[in-house]
């Protein structure tokens, strides 16, 4: 536990979407393989695509193209359009992880300010949040295409913190990957990680964190 949160009342929790609140990998993998098929490229395994999730759609598409075809980068612009079209048809099928909804309700009832801070484009983010009726929990929703810089840059965390009028010591970032940890560290806020999700080539165990949650509902114990 960091000294900041132990001695200061936690007022705001910023939460990642992919791999933290929602299991989005099945739909992303399906849409990515539909994209590759449309380009006459070889499809990829679920686990291969899964490791590209979380650093933004540009990275997802680019890495998938290169993994499928050594000249895949030449089709990036076309692939981005195809992926977005395929994915928006099925994005809302993604389901939240266990206890996420009840935990968000608990935190909201405790008057904790909540924000969704994701690298995911807004068009896909809102499809998922609206379908699950999760929009109601958040005081602020920030997507990757709305910010000048994506995580691991601190920009989105700084923006949200100022909008919610909370200090670094009153803020906690929750995520599943090194992107979230680095962004929190860069912004000077505490960070909690979930043990599941999408960790790319950088396991979260390799990074010091404020709280290593065993499940999402452990967030309830951090509220005074």
* CB neighbour list of residue 13: distance below 8 Å, 6 or more residues apart: 107, 112, 113, 114, 115, 171, 172, 173, 174, 219
Q: Where are the domains of the chain?
A: 3-23+95-222, 25-93
One fold for 3-23+95-222 and 25-93: no
SS3 assignment, position 172: strand
Domain 25-93 has CATH 1.10.3470: no
Question: Strand runs (DSSP E) across the chain, as ranges?
Answer: 12-15, 22-23, 95-96, 113-117, 140-142, 171-175, 190-193, 211-212
Q: For residue 200, what pLDDT is reported?
A: 67
Q: For residue 130, what pLDDT is reported?
A: 97
Of 193, 192, 10, 217, nearest in space to 102 by CA: 217
SS3 assignment, position 89: helix
Is residue 16 flagged as an active site residue?
A: yes
Which pTM value belongs to this model? Answer: 0.92
Q: For residue 73, what pLDDT is reported?
A: 82
* CB neighbour list of residue 32: distance below 8 Å, 6 or more residues apart: 44, 49, 60, 61, 64, 83
Q: For residue 1, what pLDDT is reported?
A: 40
- In the 8-state DSSP scheme, what is residue 115? E
16, 18, 176, 180: the catalytic one is 16
Q: For residue 169, what pLDDT is reported?
A: 97
Q: For residue 80, what pLDDT is reported?
A: 96
Are 223 and 8 in contact by the 8 Å Cβ rule? The answer is: no
For domain 3-23+95-222, give its CATH number from 3.40.50.1000, 3.40.50.300, 2.40.50.140, 3.40.30.10: 3.40.50.1000
Residue 110, class by beta-carbon neighbours within 10 Å (0-12 exposed, 13-18 middle, 19+ buried)? Answer: exposed
Q: How many alpha carbons fall within 13 Å on the CB side of residue 32? A: 29
Chunk the chain into consecutive blocks of 10 residues (it has 224) and report each block's average pLDDT, rounded to whole numbers. 58 97 97 97 95 89 94 91 96 96 98 97 96 97 94 97 98 96 97 89 85 97 89
């Amino acid at each position: 536990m960091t000294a900041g949160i132990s001695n200061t009342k936690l007022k705001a929790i910023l939460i990642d979407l992919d791999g933290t609140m929602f299991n989005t990998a099945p739909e992303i993998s399906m849409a990515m393989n539909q994209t590759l098929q449309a380009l006459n490229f070889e499809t990829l395994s679920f686990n291969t695509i899964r490791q590209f999730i979380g650093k933004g759609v540009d990275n997802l598409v680019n890495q998938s193209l290169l993994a499928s075809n050594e000249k895949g980068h030449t089709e990036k612009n076309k692939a981005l359009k195809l992926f977005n079209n395929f994915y928006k048809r099925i994005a809302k099928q993604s389901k939240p992880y266990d206890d996420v909804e009840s935990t968000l309700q608990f935190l909201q009832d405790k008057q904790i300010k909540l924000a969704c801070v994701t690298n995911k484009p807004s068009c896909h983010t809102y499809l998922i949040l609206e379908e699950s009726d999760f929009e109601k929990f958040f005081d602020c929703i920030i997507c990757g295409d709305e910010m000048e810089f994506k995580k691991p840059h601190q920009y989105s965390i700084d923006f949200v913190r100022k909008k919610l009028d909370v200090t670094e010591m009153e803020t906690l970032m929750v995520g599943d990957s090194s992107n979230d940890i680095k962004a929190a560290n860069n912004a000077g806020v505490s960070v909690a990680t979930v043990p599941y999700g999408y960790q790319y080539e950088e396991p979260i165990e390799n990074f010091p964190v404020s709280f290593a949650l065993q499940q999402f509902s452990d967030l309830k114990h951090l509220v005074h």
